[in-house]
Chains A and B, each alone.
Chain A
């Protein structure tokens, strides 16, 4: 008889870092092809539309980068938080906080034109950080579970935002529950003529290596990792667990806040109900696919940007519901989690005697 056996690995080979996410994605696509069949479409046609429409023209390529930008920010936000085992499921709410702050600052008439964009970025990050500090303080001071509070705070800020948009912050010109447009001078500069490639894309591209440096080359990054891996050892080493978790929350929230600020400053120029179609939650999937490595966040974010952009085209062409994109996200998270087993264990086939 042959038995499957899981053996712990001594150390992880480097090639697994790339192979595992690819395997997970491949498994996801195979599983989800069943749904395409159920919808009565051709798998090749549907996947063709899903992946190729985002890459077909130069314009669409740029659009994919634009779409990936908030996902890079939320992916980084979750990466930093999860490293410390600060379970921040609230990137969605922190993104909204950042978006609201940026839209508020960007519409101020009293501010000098030159300082609008930097102020929006700074305030967006600060607002996101502030919204993330609430669950961190509740966790460190009152021992309230961070998963639940970050999740619930997403609802609090969403309804709070909608109350403002339906009340004092409603755009008097359109009458819709949208915030008034930001000033022209507050719109992020466009980096490539005749496209929507805005400053936020560049900030995301720069933030990624910076977060990597922070996590792998600085004392703070070391502390964040240490608290995540073994809080007891970290506290024996003289670190303040609470302090590290608070700082983690500030960084994580600020990154998610930047996602909101960048969406407002570079894309929508206002805040409205649909400003984030779940970017905060997608950030969790991205961070896991990136194996909590900041550098892995960019390819993972681009992958999901392609899917989110391509889903519309796929749905129009083949009739497969656009929500396939959501199923792919959930499936990818599950398959990646399973794939991570190969990281810790190796599968050994062993001959065993019957007994």
Chain B
């Protein structure tokens, strides 16, 4: 047991934990904006997949990672607009629209990746984002190498949590967004455009999901593969339930998930416990379900979640 602990809990472990949490934080906060406005975006998995592909491809051909990032964000926004068209303008079932968006986006990502790169013998790769150590702060013992020697995108994810909490709870725009998600008719009576708020929420959500996808294919890994997302989008949706629709709690949930994921990766590599590695891959998903079961009874989703808004119907 001591041997396991010694092997697992090193500085590298916690630095890896933060990297694993980063795409989850982007995805979760993105999804949070959509859900707080009353739209469940099940398109998240496909949006992340397509963004990972477009971001990688743009970076591959331009040689500029930031251009790749921009492509991923634009892709995410476009996927968000599709979701908005289906669920907000047309008022269609959010469940089926989301699954449709995911199937469509992942299909497009496979199609275009094959079209652009064909079937080369070795996987095309890029020089991914490099670690940026923050001068001064990274010299702090233990904390420094864990928190302040990370990718630029990791710092961005760290900033996005307080920023989203501030936007959602401290600004008039955030109040309007939450009202639209809780009681759209009240918001409408107060002169808030429900449509516009939901469109904006889904576009922000898409942009953040784009960052999540780009992080995976351009920072965490240096290539796009068909399994690059492998369920992380669905995990984000679970994390929001786990985090009771709060940005801070959801981000904490992302860290908890990342802890389990980093742990299973270490255990896989350490060969202390001799079981097929897939058992470890399974672990984070099992824990996510257990976590949801523990909190769901008291969970209170935004009241208007899943409900389309039509002015004339009350």
Q: List chain A positions with a Cβ less than 8 A from chain B.
A: 35, 38-39, 87, 89, 138, 142-145, 147-149, 151-153, 155-156, 159-160, 162-164, 166-167, 281, 284-285, 288, 321-331, 333-334, 337-338, 340-341
Among B100, B108, B279, the most chain A Cβ lie within 10 Å of the Cβ of B100
Whether a CB of chain A sits under 8 angstroms from the CB of B105 is yes
Q: Is the CB of B297 within 8 A of A142?
A: yes
Instruction: State the Cβ distance, B20 to closest chain A Cβ, in Å.
Output: 16
Q: Is the CB of B110 within 8 A of A148?
A: no
Q: Is the CB of A323 within 8 A of B110?
A: yes
Main secondary structure of the interface of A (DSSP, over half): helix
CA distance A120 to B314 in the complex (A): 52
Q: Is the CB of A331 within 8 A of B275?
A: no
Residues in B with CB closer than 8 Å to A285 are: 103
Residue of B whose beta carbon sits closest to that of A331:
B104
Given A149-B289, A159-B279, A163-B276, answer yes or no on A327-B92 (Cβ-Cβ < 8 Å). Answer: no
Residues in A with CB closer than 8 Å to B95 are: 87, 147
Residue of A whose beta carbon sits closest to that of B111:
A323
Q: Is the CB of A152 within 8 A of B231?
A: yes
Instruction: State the Cβ distance, B94 to closest chain A Cβ, in Å.
Output: 10
Residues in A with CB closer than 8 Å to B102 are: 330
| B236-285 with Cβ < 8 A to chain A | 237-238, 241, 275-279, 281-282, 285
Q: Is the CB of A145 within 8 A of B115?
A: no
Q: Is the CB of A288 within 8 A of B96?
A: yes
CA distance A144 to B238 in the complex (A): 10
Chain B interface extent, by class? 35 or more
Q: Is the CB of A167 within 8 A of B276?
A: yes
Given contacts A138-B293, A167-B275, list 4 more A-B pairs with CB under 8 A: A148-B292, A155-B231, A284-B96, A285-B103
Whether a CB of chain A sits under 8 angstroms from the CB of B288 is yes
CA distance A147 to B35 in the complex (A): 15
Contact of A159 among B101, B104, B115, B278 (CB under 8 A): B278
Q: Is the CB of B99 within 8 A of A284?
A: yes
Contact of B286 among A138, A156, A327, A334 (CB under 8 A): A156
CA distance A143 to B238 in the complex (A): 13
Contact of B107 among A142, A152, A160, A323 (CB under 8 A): A323
Residues in A with CB closer than 8 Å to B96 are: 284, 288, 333, 337
CA distance A38 to B237 in the complex (A): 34
Residues in B with CB closer than 8 Å to A288 are: 96
Given A156-B282, A330-B105, answer yes or no on A337-B86 (Cβ-Cβ < 8 Å). Answer: yes
Contact of A327 among B101, B104, B289 (CB under 8 A): B104
